[in-house]
Structure formats: C-alpha cells, structure tokens
C-alpha cells in the first residue's frame, strides 16, 4: 500500500521548472476567474520520483517476464524504437505545421501505410484510428457509407459468438444492428448458420482471423464467398495478425476491410492501457471512403490530399497516433519480410508447443493445431472447487502473469493463452511447469488457490465493494 501523491504533501515546493516570466503580470484583465480551490499535490521533484518508482515496483511488465495474455500479443518492445520515437524531429512536431516542414514525418506515415498494405494485401490503409476498437468503428463507417453510396440499405452486421466485445460495440455505435451467430463444434464459423443469417439486409460479416480460439477458419474461402454472394462485405478484426505475417494476406483471400493493432502485432508498447493504434485497410473499391486527409506522394514530395467526396471524414483530429507509427515503422524496417514471417512462424510454434504441454493438465475443447494462441479450460478443476480466477491469481504468486480468463465467452472457465514469438522455449517450459504445479495444488490444497495471491503487493481485491460504491477520486480538501 503506497500513500497517494496527495498525502505525500500539499505544502511542498513544486513547479520550479517553469520558464521565468518576462512579461508583465498586472493588468491582465482575465474574465471568469477561478474561485474553486485546486488542491493539487505540492511536492518536490525527488518526492515525485520516489513516488512513481515505488508505484513502478508494483507493476508486472514485459521486461520482467512473460505475459501470456491471449488476444493481447504482449511481445517484447524493442528499446531502440522507443529512442527513435523520442527524437525531437518526431516528438517536437506540431500537427499544423506546413507540409514542407514535416516531409520526414509524412514520408514515414506514407511508408508505414505502404508496408501495412503489402503485409495485409490491402489496397490502402488509413492510420487515424487510435486503437483497435476505433479501427473497427472506422471500418463500420466505411461500410455504412459504401452502401449508402450504392443506395443500398443494409443494417445488419453478423458477428460470431466468439468475437471480442469491441466488435458488437463498434457495430452498435455505428448504427448497425449486430447479429450473433454461433460457432460450430470445432470452434469455427458454422457455414449453415452463416448461410441462414446472411441476407439482403446484411451489410458486413465481422470476423476475427485467426479467431479468438486461436483457430484459423478452415472454411474461410467458403465463408467469404457466402458473404460476397449476398452483396455484403467481409470485415476482418486483425488483432490476431501476429499469426499470419508473411503467411496469409487477408486482402488476397477476399477480406474487404480490416484493422491491425500496431500495439500488438507491431510491437509498440501497451503503456498499461494505451496509447495504441488501429489502422484500417481496405480493398480498392473502398479506398474513396477512407478518412481524410490521405498522404500522397508527388514527385518525391509528400502532400496531404483532402479530395475525396465519399470519405467518411475524420475519426481523429490529426494523423492518428504518430508516435506509435514511428515505433511500428522502425519495427517493420528492422525485421523486413523475412523477419516478419519468422515472427508468425515462431508465434505459431510457441503456441502449439505450449498447447502440447498444457494439454496434459487442463482441458482443451478445440483441438489443434492452433495458430498463435489457444484456449484451455479450467473446468477440470471445478471438482476441487477451484475456479479459473483462482488459477490466475495463483500464477501471480509464482511471479508470472495470468492468461486472459473467461474469454472467449463460449469456453467455460476459459484460459486464453498466447505465448508470442519473443519468448524462448525455456520460458514456455517454465510457464508450463508452473501451470502443472498449480493443477496439482488445486487437487491437493485448493485453499492455496482460493487464497491466492499471497506474495503480491496487495492480496485479492474486493471488486464488488468498488462497484457498489466506487471511490474514483481522492477526497478534495477545500482549505
């Protein structure tokens, strides 16, 4: 338990970094003056440093150990990319500067867009979306305006039951009606159910590929055909692109719109919850609907083009999360074509290897081979009164992070495990060993799991109490 920064001092010496004021302060004549007290903390620099160093010591992070969070692709974040993104020539740019003063930045965005298009087999990408869900929404807007442009009224978006929660939410915000279809016994899209669901009002099938069970849709060609035959579009949630780099190009197999998450597949750090970046790619027929401005190259110069009457407009006031682009660009440049393929191959190898080891101690509903991740179930431990949460919490005691749990919703007591390519065999062996040991503990001493975690900065936290009466703000002292 760390005291809050407010408790560290309200009367300390702060703010001495501000430039000296060399302009008159009297006679400013400012209307609407503030009367409410501020009550910000007041502490000296060293106290701030110590406060955050103390907080830092209570965080798990990728530089500490493996993060087997399924669907999250927590891979190593190359340090050099951080350094590059911090260069003043990037970090110090105002987004309203003249084109001629930001040619390097525009070239970087342009090149990143080209690289993503090549990787995904799409005609073009728009980089404005600030995260995956934002990309989904943007993609839905594109589909909406596409059909509007064609004079078609299509209102339904089909979403498999294994989809990530952002999928139906993005669909709804965009004014579409989401319709869920159930997966078949193998965890894949049920072609029959799909055929039944698809119709004249279908605008889009929104599909995650590989799906959130870590499975590649074997019948993807048929799936796409069914959708296209109905005049609808295929949207691919590319959050799992880490399985397919240099192996499958979605555009080539018929995907119409997709997004990728730079903060997953392309190694940019997650920052404890952002910033991310969720570029959206489209096939040729949809290019005109992309957000503006688009960056075009004319005779070696990069310039902004706002000319697109069909564009959905803007989803970001500027270019998107540029600082994230820089890191993704550096990453893609570093790895090159061969390196990207190596990423996916190893992501798949690591997942299948771990699957083979974990399968000895936990239930596996859908058999492999899996792609970059797989879903195990803790239901075999229910007989000892142990829940998946307990397994997750117990992992923390071993200095490891837990997998994603209780997602996808279609697997009971789900443990969604994505080892990623940057972990080495030895790391996977260690994780699998701990998982095996925990399964044993569940049998022999279930309370050890119920009471877990034991060795963390705090023990299991009362979420229900927080939800009942949330404490969202440290009490303000009104002097």
Q: Which residues bind ligand PLP (CB under 6 A)?
A: 71-72, 131-133, 164, 166, 208, 212, 237, 239, 261, 276, 278
* Given 112, 122, 124, 140, the residue binding another protein (CB under 8 A): 140
46 binds a second copy (CB under 8 A): yes
Candidates 250, 154, 264, 162; CA nearest to 214 is: 162
* Given 1, 300, 309, 444, the residue binding another protein (CB under 8 A): 1
| DSSP-assigned letter for residue 69 | B
* Given 66, 70, 75, 441, the residue binding another protein (CB under 8 A): 75
Least separation in angstroms between CB 334 and a second copy:
9
Residue 115 binds: one of another protein, a second copy, ligand PLP, none (C-beta under 5 to 8 A by kind):
another protein
Residue among 182 and 443 whose Cβ is closer to another protein: 182
114 binds a second copy (CB under 8 A): no
Which tokens go with 64?
Answer: 């500490």
CA distance 36 to 184: 59
Site residues for another protein, window 196-225 (CB under 8 A)? 215-216, 218, 220-221
Least separation in angstroms between CB 299 and another protein:
16
Question: Contact at 8 Å (CB) between 295 and 308?
Answer: no
Q: Reduce the DSSP state of residue 228 to 3 states and report it.
A: helix
Candidates 70, 431, 432; CA nearest to 215 is: 70
Question: Contact at 8 Å (CB) between 189 and 240?
Answer: no
53 binds a second copy (CB under 8 A): yes
Q: Could you please report the per-residue DSSP string of 38-52?
A: -------HHHHHHHH
The span of 38-46, 93-101, 160-168, 404-412 binding a second copy (CB under 8 A) equals 38-46
Determine the Cα angle at 22 with ends 17 and 28, to 5°: 105
Residue 384 binds: one of another protein, a second copy, ligand PLP, none (C-beta under 5 to 8 A by kind):
none
Helix axes 425-444, 322-358, angle to 10 degrees: 60
12 binds a second copy (CB under 8 A): yes
Q: Could you please report the per-residue DSSP string of 166-183?
A: HHHHHHHHTTPEEEEE-B
Residue 237 binds: one of ligand PLP, a second copy, another protein, none (C-beta under 5 to 8 A by kind):
ligand PLP
Residue among 66 and 203 whose Cβ is closer to a second copy: 66
59 binds a second copy (CB under 8 A): no
What are the backbone dihedrals phi and psi of residue 429, each rounded to the nearest 5 degrees, phi first? -60, -40
Which tokens go with 296?
Answer: 């075009």
Candidates 275, 379, 273, 258; CA nearest to 321 is: 275
Residue 238 belongs to what H/E stretch? strand 233-238
Site residues for a second copy, window 364-423 (CB under 8 A)? 422
Site residues for a second copy, window 169-228 (CB under 8 A)? none
* Given 15, 37, 40, 50, the residue binding a second copy (CB under 8 A): 50
466 binds another protein (CB under 8 A): yes
110 binds another protein (CB under 8 A): no
The end-to-end CA distance of the chain, in Å, is: 26
97 binds another protein (CB under 8 A): yes
Residue 449 belongs to what H/E stretch? helix 446-450
Residue 71 binds: one of a second copy, another protein, ligand PLP, none (C-beta under 5 to 8 A by kind):
ligand PLP
Interface residues toward a second copy, by CB under 8 A: 9, 12, 17, 44-47, 49-50, 53-54, 57, 63-65, 76, 78-80, 422, 424
């Amino acid at each position: 338990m760390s005291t809050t920064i407010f408790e560290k001092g309200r009367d300390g010496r702060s703010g001495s970094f501000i430039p000296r004021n060399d302009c008159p302060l009297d006679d400013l004549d400012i209307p609407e003056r503030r009367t409410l007290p501020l009550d910000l903390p007041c502490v000296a620099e060293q106290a701030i440093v110590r406060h955050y160093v103390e907080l830092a010591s209570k965080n798990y992070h990728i530089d500490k150990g493996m993060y087997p969070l399924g669907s999250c692709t927590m891979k190593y974040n190359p340090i050099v990319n951080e350094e590059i993104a911090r260069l003043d020539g990037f970090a110090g740019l105002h987004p309203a500067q003249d084109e001629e003063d930001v040619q390097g930045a525009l070239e970087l965005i342009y090149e990143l867009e080209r690289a993503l298009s090549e990787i995904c087999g799409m005609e073009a990408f728009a980089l404005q979306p600030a995260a995956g869900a934002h990309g989904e929404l943007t993609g839905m807007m594109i589909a909406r305006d596409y059909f509007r442009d064609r004079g078609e009224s299509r209102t339904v978006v089909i979403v498999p039951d294994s989809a990530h929660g952002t999928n139906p939410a993005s669909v709804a915000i965009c004014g579409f009606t989401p319709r869920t279809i159930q997966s078949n016994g193998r965890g894949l899209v049920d072609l029959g159910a799909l055929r039944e669901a698809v119709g004249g009002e279908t605008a889009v099938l929104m599909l995650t590929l590989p799906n959130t069970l870590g499975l590649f849709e074997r019948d993807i060609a048929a799936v796409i055909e069914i959708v296209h035959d109905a005049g609808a579009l295929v949207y691919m949630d590319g959050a799992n692109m880490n399985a397919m780099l240099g192996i499958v190009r979605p555009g080539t197999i018929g995907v119409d719109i997709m997004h990728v998450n730079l903060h997953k597949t392309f190694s940019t750090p997650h920052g404890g919850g952002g910033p991310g970046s969720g570029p959206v790619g489209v096939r040729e027929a949809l290019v005109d609907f992309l957000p503006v401005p688009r960056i075009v190259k004319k005779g070696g110069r990069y310039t902004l083009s706002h000319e697109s009457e069909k564009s959905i407009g803007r989803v970001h006031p500027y270019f998107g999360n540029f600082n994230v682009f820089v890191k993704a660009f550096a990453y893609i440049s570093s790895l090159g074509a061969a390196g990207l393929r190596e990423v996916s191959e190893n992501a798949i190898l690591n997942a299948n290897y771990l699957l083979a080891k974990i399968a000895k101690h936990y239930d596996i509903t859908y058999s492999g081979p899996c792609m970059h991740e797989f879903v195990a179930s803790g239901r075999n431990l229910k007989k000892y009164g142990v829940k998946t949460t307990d397994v997750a919490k117990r992992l923390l005691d071993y200095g490891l992070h837990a997998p994603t749990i209780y997602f996808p919703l279609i697997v009971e007591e789900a443990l969604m495990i994505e080892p990623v390519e940057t972990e080495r065999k030895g790391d996977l062996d260690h994780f699998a060993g701990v998982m095996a040991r925990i399964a044993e503990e569940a049998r022999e001493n279930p309370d050890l799991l119920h009471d877990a975690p034991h060795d963390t900065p705090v023990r299991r936290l009362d979420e229900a109490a927080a939800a009942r009466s949330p404490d969202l703000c440290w009490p303000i002292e009104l002097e």
